[in-house]
């Protein structure tokens, strides 16, 4: 999906650079709907990536908690001969 999205974005950028993009008055309805579809795809991809990032953050947080809990969780004892404050 991201590959086709990137291809649409590149095609739109090339069209804009050549003066045939949606910024010109000569842009037809089919071309404008293609740009609209590309923008909708971009918004959808951004939402999907935000969702993925938040789920990944939650997973990493849980993994960090599991690692912290499994490392013994007992306070370290001072080494013999160490000065106590």
In a domain, 51, yes or no: yes
In a domain, 13, yes or no: no
Kind plus residue range of the DSSP H or E element containing 42: helix 29-70
Whether residue 2 is predicted with pLDDT greater than 90 in this model: the reply is no
Alpha-carbon separation of residue 71 from 25, 39, 74, 75 (angstroms): 66, 48, 8, 11
Render pLDDT for 23-71 as a digit per residue (tens, 0 to 9).
544 556 666 678 888 999 999 999 999 999 999 999 999 999 999 988 7
pLDDT, position 10: 77
In a domain, 22, yes or no: no
Does the pTM exceed 0.85? no
Whether residue 5 is predicted with pLDDT greater than 90 in this model: the reply is no
In a domain, 56, yes or no: yes
Q: Domain total for the chain? A: 1
In a domain, 45, yes or no: yes
In a domain, 55, yes or no: yes
Structural domain boundaries enclosing 62:
36-67
In a domain, 49, yes or no: yes
């Amino acid at each position: 999906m991201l590959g086709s999205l990137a291809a649409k974005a590149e095609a739109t950028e090339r069209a804009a650079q050549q003066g045939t993009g949606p910024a010109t008055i000569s842009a037809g309805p089919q071309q404008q709907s293609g740009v609209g579809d590309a923008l909708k795809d971009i918004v959808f991809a951004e939402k999907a990536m935000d969702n993925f990032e938040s789920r990944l953050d939650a997973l990493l947080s849980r993994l960090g908690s599991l690692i912290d809990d499994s490392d013994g969780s007992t306070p370290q004892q001072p080494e013999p001969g160490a000065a106590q404050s």
